[in-house]
Structure 1
Amino acid sequence: MSVSPQEIFRNYVYAGSLTHNADALAELFTEGGVLEAPLVPADAAFPERMEGREEIRRSMAAYYERQTGGGGAPNVEKSRYVLHITDDPDVFIAEIDTVLGGNGEGDGGEVTVSLVQIFRIRDGKIAHLRDYFTPGLVS
Protein backbone atom coordinates (compact mmCIF):
# COMPACT_ATOMS: atom_id res chain seq x y z
CA MET A 1 0.00 0.00 0.00
CA SER A 2 1.45 3.36 -1.00
CA VAL A 3 1.25 6.49 1.11
CA SER A 4 -0.42 9.50 -0.50
CA PRO A 5 1.18 12.95 -0.66
CA GLN A 6 -1.66 14.19 1.58
CA GLU A 7 -0.81 11.59 4.25
CA ILE A 8 2.91 12.33 4.07
CA PHE A 9 2.31 16.08 4.34
CA ARG A 10 -0.21 15.71 7.17
CA ASN A 11 2.18 13.46 9.12
CA TYR A 12 5.08 15.86 8.53
CA VAL A 13 3.11 18.88 9.79
CA TYR A 14 1.80 16.97 12.81
CA ALA A 15 5.22 15.63 13.84
CA GLY A 16 7.01 18.92 13.25
CA SER A 17 4.99 22.12 13.53
CA LEU A 18 2.19 20.85 15.75
CA THR A 19 3.84 18.47 18.23
CA HIS A 20 7.58 19.18 17.89
CA ASN A 21 8.24 15.43 18.02
CA ALA A 22 11.74 14.99 16.59
CA ASP A 23 11.54 11.18 16.79
CA ALA A 24 8.29 11.03 14.80
CA LEU A 25 9.60 13.59 12.32
CA ALA A 26 12.82 11.66 11.72
CA GLU A 27 10.91 8.41 11.16
CA LEU A 28 9.11 10.03 8.20
CA PHE A 29 12.45 10.14 6.34
CA THR A 30 14.40 7.41 4.59
CA GLU A 31 17.55 6.27 6.42
CA GLY A 32 19.67 8.65 4.31
CA GLY A 33 16.96 11.30 3.90
CA VAL A 34 17.84 14.96 3.57
CA LEU A 35 16.03 17.93 5.11
CA GLU A 36 17.35 21.26 3.95
CA ALA A 37 16.35 24.89 4.20
CA PRO A 38 18.36 26.62 1.45
CA LEU A 39 17.38 30.17 2.48
CA VAL A 40 18.56 29.78 6.08
CA PRO A 41 21.98 31.29 6.87
CA ALA A 42 24.60 28.99 8.37
CA ASP A 43 24.42 30.68 11.80
CA ALA A 44 20.62 30.45 12.17
CA ALA A 45 18.90 28.48 14.93
CA PHE A 46 17.18 26.28 12.34
CA PRO A 47 19.67 23.87 10.71
CA GLU A 48 20.43 24.67 7.08
CA ARG A 49 20.94 21.02 6.09
CA MET A 50 20.50 17.69 7.84
CA GLU A 51 21.43 14.43 6.19
CA GLY A 52 20.35 11.06 7.54
CA ARG A 53 17.51 10.13 9.84
CA GLU A 54 19.65 10.29 12.99
CA GLU A 55 21.03 13.75 12.20
CA ILE A 56 17.48 14.97 11.52
CA ARG A 57 16.38 13.51 14.86
CA ARG A 58 19.27 15.09 16.83
CA SER A 59 19.19 18.48 15.10
CA MET A 60 15.43 18.93 15.27
CA ALA A 61 15.30 17.79 18.93
CA ALA A 62 17.92 20.44 19.75
CA TYR A 63 16.04 23.05 17.71
CA TYR A 64 12.71 22.30 19.41
CA GLU A 65 14.39 22.42 22.82
CA ARG A 66 15.77 25.93 22.09
CA GLN A 67 12.38 27.32 21.05
CA THR A 68 10.73 29.50 23.66
CA GLY A 69 7.14 30.50 24.35
CA GLY A 70 3.99 29.52 22.51
CA GLY A 71 3.83 32.50 20.14
CA GLY A 72 5.15 30.42 17.28
CA ALA A 73 2.40 27.83 17.39
CA PRO A 74 0.44 27.67 14.15
CA ASN A 75 -3.22 28.62 14.14
CA VAL A 76 -4.58 25.57 12.32
CA GLU A 77 -7.98 27.14 11.60
CA LYS A 78 -6.48 30.19 9.88
CA SER A 79 -3.53 28.50 8.14
CA ARG A 80 -3.93 27.27 4.57
CA TYR A 81 -2.05 25.05 2.16
CA VAL A 82 -2.28 23.64 -1.34
CA LEU A 83 -0.54 20.47 -2.47
CA HIS A 84 0.63 20.46 -6.07
CA ILE A 85 0.94 16.97 -7.50
CA THR A 86 3.56 16.75 -10.24
CA ASP A 87 3.99 14.46 -13.24
CA ASP A 88 6.62 12.63 -11.21
CA PRO A 89 4.71 10.41 -8.74
CA ASP A 90 7.58 10.74 -6.24
CA VAL A 91 7.51 14.56 -6.12
CA PHE A 92 4.94 16.95 -4.72
CA ILE A 93 5.03 20.60 -3.68
CA ALA A 94 3.33 22.18 -0.68
CA GLU A 95 2.44 25.88 -0.88
CA ILE A 96 1.69 27.07 2.65
CA ASP A 97 0.44 30.18 4.44
CA THR A 98 0.85 29.51 8.15
CA VAL A 99 -0.69 31.92 10.64
CA LEU A 100 1.38 32.18 13.81
CA GLY A 101 0.71 33.89 17.13
CA GLY A 102 -2.32 35.80 18.27
CA ASN A 103 -4.84 34.54 20.72
CA GLY A 104 -7.60 33.83 18.24
CA GLU A 105 -9.45 36.97 19.35
CA GLY A 106 -8.20 39.17 16.51
CA ASP A 107 -5.67 40.88 18.77
CA GLY A 108 -3.39 41.71 15.86
CA GLY A 109 -0.52 39.64 17.24
CA GLU A 110 -0.63 37.30 14.28
CA VAL A 111 1.84 36.97 11.46
CA THR A 112 1.43 34.95 8.28
CA VAL A 113 4.46 32.99 7.12
CA SER A 114 4.37 31.91 3.48
CA LEU A 115 6.58 29.03 2.43
CA VAL A 116 7.08 26.35 -0.18
CA GLN A 117 8.24 22.80 0.46
CA ILE A 118 9.35 20.35 -2.23
CA PHE A 119 9.03 16.70 -1.22
CA ARG A 120 10.81 13.82 -2.96
CA ILE A 121 9.46 10.46 -1.80
CA ARG A 122 10.91 6.96 -1.96
CA ASP A 123 9.05 3.89 -0.72
CA GLY A 124 6.54 5.99 1.21
CA LYS A 125 9.21 7.97 3.09
CA ILE A 126 10.68 11.42 2.53
CA ALA A 127 13.99 11.06 0.69
CA HIS A 128 14.59 14.78 0.25
CA LEU A 129 12.71 17.82 1.51
CA ARG A 130 13.63 21.38 0.51
CA ASP A 131 11.91 23.88 2.79
CA TYR A 132 11.87 27.48 1.50
CA PHE A 133 10.82 29.96 4.19
CA THR A 134 11.81 33.36 5.57
CA PRO A 135 14.81 32.73 7.85
CA GLY A 136 14.14 35.81 10.03
CA LEU A 137 10.93 34.27 11.32
CA VAL A 138 12.65 31.20 12.76
CA SER A 139 14.20 31.62 16.18
Structure 2
Amino acid sequence: MSRTPQEIFQSYVHAGAMTRNADALAECFTEDGVFEAPLMPAGAAFPRRLEGRAEIRAAMAAYYERQATGDGRAPNVERSAYVLHTTADPDVFIAEIDTVFDGDDGEEDRAVSLVQIVRVRDGRIARLRDYFSPDLMD
Protein backbone atom coordinates (compact mmCIF):
# COMPACT_ATOMS: atom_id res chain seq x y z
CA MET A 1 0.00 0.00 0.00
CA SER A 2 1.36 3.39 -0.99
CA ARG A 3 1.57 6.23 1.50
CA THR A 4 -0.30 9.46 0.92
CA PRO A 5 1.48 12.80 0.39
CA GLN A 6 0.26 13.78 3.87
CA GLU A 7 1.85 10.70 5.47
CA ILE A 8 5.10 11.14 3.56
CA PHE A 9 5.33 14.83 4.43
CA GLN A 10 4.51 14.31 8.11
CA SER A 11 7.24 11.65 8.40
CA TYR A 12 9.73 13.99 6.74
CA VAL A 13 8.86 16.97 8.99
CA HIS A 14 8.98 14.86 12.15
CA ALA A 15 12.36 13.36 11.24
CA GLY A 16 13.91 16.67 10.17
CA ALA A 17 12.52 19.87 11.67
CA MET A 18 10.98 18.35 14.77
CA THR A 19 13.51 15.76 15.97
CA ARG A 20 16.59 16.43 13.82
CA ASN A 21 17.09 12.69 13.42
CA ALA A 22 19.36 12.22 10.39
CA ASP A 23 18.78 8.44 10.29
CA ALA A 24 15.00 8.84 10.22
CA LEU A 25 15.26 11.69 7.73
CA ALA A 26 17.38 9.60 5.36
CA GLU A 27 14.86 6.76 5.59
CA CYS A 28 12.19 9.11 4.21
CA PHE A 29 14.12 9.06 0.92
CA THR A 30 14.57 6.37 -1.71
CA GLU A 31 18.02 4.79 -1.81
CA ASP A 32 18.91 7.11 -4.72
CA GLY A 33 16.92 10.07 -3.41
CA VAL A 34 18.03 13.65 -3.96
CA PHE A 35 17.67 16.52 -1.47
CA GLU A 36 18.22 19.96 -2.93
CA ALA A 37 18.20 23.50 -1.59
CA PRO A 38 18.77 25.32 -4.91
CA LEU A 39 18.94 28.81 -3.40
CA MET A 40 21.79 27.95 -1.02
CA PRO A 41 25.16 29.35 -2.10
CA ALA A 42 28.03 26.95 -2.66
CA GLY A 43 29.98 26.32 0.52
CA ALA A 44 27.12 27.24 2.89
CA ALA A 45 26.73 25.30 6.16
CA PHE A 46 23.36 23.92 4.99
CA PRO A 47 23.93 21.47 2.13
CA ARG A 48 22.90 22.60 -1.36
CA ARG A 49 22.55 19.15 -2.95
CA LEU A 50 22.73 15.66 -1.48
CA GLU A 51 22.48 12.51 -3.57
CA GLY A 52 21.59 9.14 -2.12
CA ARG A 53 20.32 8.09 1.28
CA ALA A 54 23.84 7.59 2.69
CA GLU A 55 24.95 11.12 1.74
CA ILE A 56 21.71 12.61 3.07
CA ARG A 57 22.21 10.77 6.38
CA ALA A 58 25.86 11.80 6.80
CA ALA A 59 25.50 15.43 5.72
CA MET A 60 22.37 16.09 7.75
CA ALA A 61 23.85 14.41 10.84
CA ALA A 62 26.84 16.76 10.53
CA TYR A 63 24.56 19.75 9.99
CA TYR A 64 22.39 18.88 13.01
CA GLU A 65 25.52 18.41 15.13
CA ARG A 66 26.76 21.91 14.18
CA GLN A 67 23.30 23.33 14.97
CA ALA A 68 23.31 21.74 18.43
CA THR A 69 25.67 24.48 19.55
CA GLY A 70 23.33 27.22 18.24
CA ASP A 71 20.12 28.57 19.75
CA GLY A 72 18.43 25.17 19.36
CA ARG A 73 14.97 26.68 19.01
CA ALA A 74 12.34 24.27 17.76
CA PRO A 75 9.34 25.32 15.69
CA ASN A 76 6.17 26.32 17.52
CA VAL A 77 3.92 23.54 16.20
CA GLU A 78 0.67 25.23 17.27
CA ARG A 79 1.50 28.45 15.42
CA SER A 80 3.13 26.87 12.36
CA ALA A 81 1.13 25.60 9.40
CA TYR A 82 1.42 24.03 5.99
CA VAL A 83 -0.76 23.30 3.00
CA LEU A 84 -0.10 20.42 0.62
CA HIS A 85 -1.02 20.86 -3.03
CA THR A 86 -1.41 17.87 -5.29
CA THR A 87 -0.51 18.20 -8.96
CA ALA A 88 -1.56 16.61 -12.24
CA ASP A 89 1.34 14.19 -11.68
CA PRO A 90 0.30 11.82 -8.86
CA ASP A 91 3.95 11.41 -7.85
CA VAL A 92 4.47 15.14 -7.20
CA PHE A 93 3.13 17.40 -4.48
CA ILE A 94 3.99 20.88 -3.28
CA ALA A 95 4.25 21.92 0.36
CA GLU A 96 3.60 25.56 1.22
CA ILE A 97 5.02 26.06 4.71
CA ASP A 98 4.87 28.82 7.32
CA THR A 99 6.97 27.99 10.38
CA VAL A 100 7.02 30.15 13.50
CA PHE A 101 9.85 30.11 16.03
CA ASP A 102 9.10 31.73 19.37
CA GLY A 103 11.35 34.65 20.25
CA ASP A 104 13.49 34.56 23.36
CA ASP A 105 12.89 37.05 26.17
CA GLY A 106 12.10 40.34 24.47
CA GLU A 107 12.86 39.03 20.96
CA GLU A 108 10.23 39.03 18.25
CA ASP A 109 8.90 35.74 16.99
CA ARG A 110 10.53 34.62 13.77
CA ALA A 111 8.34 33.47 10.89
CA VAL A 112 9.84 31.45 8.05
CA SER A 113 7.96 30.82 4.81
CA LEU A 114 9.13 28.32 2.23
CA VAL A 115 8.02 26.01 -0.55
CA GLN A 116 9.06 22.42 -1.15
CA ILE A 117 8.45 20.43 -4.31
CA VAL A 118 8.42 16.70 -3.61
CA ARG A 119 8.58 13.81 -6.08
CA VAL A 120 7.82 10.40 -4.58
CA ARG A 121 8.41 6.80 -5.62
CA ASP A 122 7.22 3.72 -3.77
CA GLY A 123 6.06 5.76 -0.76
CA ARG A 124 9.38 7.56 -0.24
CA ILE A 125 10.86 10.85 -1.39
CA ALA A 126 12.78 10.46 -4.63
CA ARG A 127 13.55 14.18 -4.96
CA LEU A 128 12.88 17.11 -2.68
CA ARG A 129 13.58 20.69 -3.73
CA ASP A 130 13.50 23.04 -0.75
CA TYR A 131 13.12 26.74 -1.63
CA PHE A 132 13.85 29.13 1.23
CA SER A 133 15.93 32.22 1.89
CA PRO A 134 19.55 31.15 2.53
CA ASP A 135 20.03 33.78 5.24
CA LEU A 136 17.57 31.83 7.40
CA MET A 137 20.19 29.15 7.88
CA ASP A 138 22.88 31.43 9.39
- TM class, shorter-chain normalised? over 0.9
Is 1:132 equivalent to 2:131 in the alignment?
Answer: yes
| 2:72 paired residue among 70, 73, 76 | 70
Q: Percent identity?
A: 68
- Tell me the residue number matched to 2:109: 110
SS at match of 2:20: coil
Is 1:80 equivalent to 2:78 in the alignment?
Answer: no
- 1:109 deviates by 2.6
Q: Which runs of 4+ in 1 moved over 2 A?
A: none
Write the distance in 1 (CA, Å) between the matches of 2:83 and 2:38.
Answer: 21
Q: What TM-score, normalized to structure 2? A: 0.94
Unaligned runs of 5+ in 2: none
Write the distance in 2 (CA, Å) between the matches of 1:108 and 1:88.
Answer: 43
Q: What TM-score, normalized to structure 1? A: 0.93
SS at match of 1:102: coil
Letter in 2 for 1:95: E
Write the distance in 2 (CA, Å) between the matches of 1:70 and 1:59.
Answer: 18
- 1:95 deviates by 0.3
SS at match of 1:42: coil
Unaligned runs of 5+ in 1: none
Letter in 2 for 1:89: P
Alignment deviations for residues 58-117 of structure 1 (CA, whole Å, 9 cap, x no partner): 00000000012223x1111111110001111100000001112325x9x55311110000
Is 1:35 equivalent to 2:35 in the alignment?
Answer: yes
Number of aligned residues: 136
Letter in 2 for 1:4: T
